[in-house]
Structure 1
Amino acid sequence: MYFSFLVHLKVVTLNVADNSIGENGAQALAEALKTNTTLATLNLDNNLIGENGAQALGEALKINSVLATLNLTYNSIGYNGAQALGEALKTNSTLTTLYLQNNSIGDNGAQALSQGIQMNSALTTLDLWHDSVTDKEAMALRQQV
């Protein structure tokens, strides 16, 4: 598949920003993340992975025990993608940094992330810049920190 090298190499940082990876590429990466034991940083900035790509990555994060930083800036993940990531945060204990800028997750997406954060002790940085989150939901998120 696209990223089968992740399973076999000791790659610790992968920056594939601005590469038109799309939904299928994100799903292939997610499959590789399920068995990868070395990748600590993944930058998928501006790849239009969409909701389905984010959902696949969310499923991978439930299994992966190494990834510490995930950048999904400018990927059109919307509410459903944020919800999948929020679910993953409930069980993931290694992700410390999550960049979700400019994904239009809205208040419902922020609320789903907030629910995940309530059960997560690892996440220290969550960036929701330009995500259509109102002051009310931002304050609710702030209480989780």
Structure 2
Amino acid sequence: MHYLFESQNPALAQQTLGSVKTLSFCGLGLTPIDSVVLSHAIRLCDTIKRLDLWDCHIQCEGLQRLGPVLHKCQDLGLGYNDLGDSGVKLVSAALRNPDCKIQTLWLQRVGLTDSGAEDLASALSTNTSLTGLYLTHNSLTDRSVPALRDLILTLPRLKWIMLEVNKFGPTGKKELRSLQERRPGLTVDV
């Protein structure tokens, strides 16, 4: 990909990457420069079925470089990266894109807190593509339950949301579980 980027030959890059369905960099440390190159490659593709950036130490700077193309991915794996709320805010911008194709979003162990969850829920209120959301192993508390409740009740295509290993109290867990009754076919794991 670095070679294709350096060549600055869009026809060659598109011919080479045109049929790519999955890009997996799981466990590889990606620098901000790598993110620029990856962003350039994704820009040339119509849709990426799966972009796997699990445990790539991508952080906000790299994610910022990828931000303009994340909406082109159907299955976006960002788990086990230290994104924090500011990184999730960059993902939220992709979810707000009217051309967003993200169907499954993996945000396990990314340092998400209640305020980041509220921004994510706000971004998803206008999203029409998302069907699955993984938010396990974060720092969500009962304070984020109202935003998650609104998200679950208003996102029509959502089929499952995984919220295990967060910091919900018994009341928050009970309220989140009860939402399954109001939305048949929805799975809420707390």
Q: Common fold, TM-score beyond 0.5? A: yes
Computing the radius of gyration from Cα coordinates, the structure with the larger value is 2
In the alignment, structure 1 residue 56 sits paired with structure 2 residue 62: no
**TM-score, scaled to structure 1:** 0.85
Quote the Cα distance in structure 2 between the aligned partners of 1:138 and 1:11: 38
CA positional deviation for 1:52: 1.4
Q: Among the aligned pairs, what percent are the same residue?
A: 32
**TM-score, scaled to structure 2:** 0.67
Q: 2:92 aligns with which of 60, 64, 86?
A: 86
Give the letter for the 1:125 counterpart. Answer: G
Q: Deviations over 1:21-63 (max 9, x none)?
A: 233322321222222124210111101000112222222135x
Structure 2 counterpart of 1:134: 141
Unmatched segments (≥5 aa) in structure 2 = 6-12, 153-190
Quote the Cα distance in structure 2 between the aligned partners of 1:115 and 1:16: 29
Quote the Cα distance in structure 1 between the aligned partners of 2:66 and 2:115: 19
Quote the Cα distance in structure 1 between the aligned partners of 2:145 and 2:3: 36
In the alignment, structure 1 residue 124 sits paired with structure 2 residue 124: no
Q: 1:28 aligns with which of 17, 32, 37?
A: 37
What's the C-alpha RMSD, in Å, of the aligned pairs?
2.1
Quote the Cα distance in structure 1 between the aligned partners of 2:83 and 2:125: 21
Q: Deviations over 1:77-129 (max 9, x none)?
A: 11111111111111143110110111102112111111110110101111111
Structure 2 counterpart of 1:18: 27
In the alignment, structure 1 residue 41 sits paired with structure 2 residue 47: no
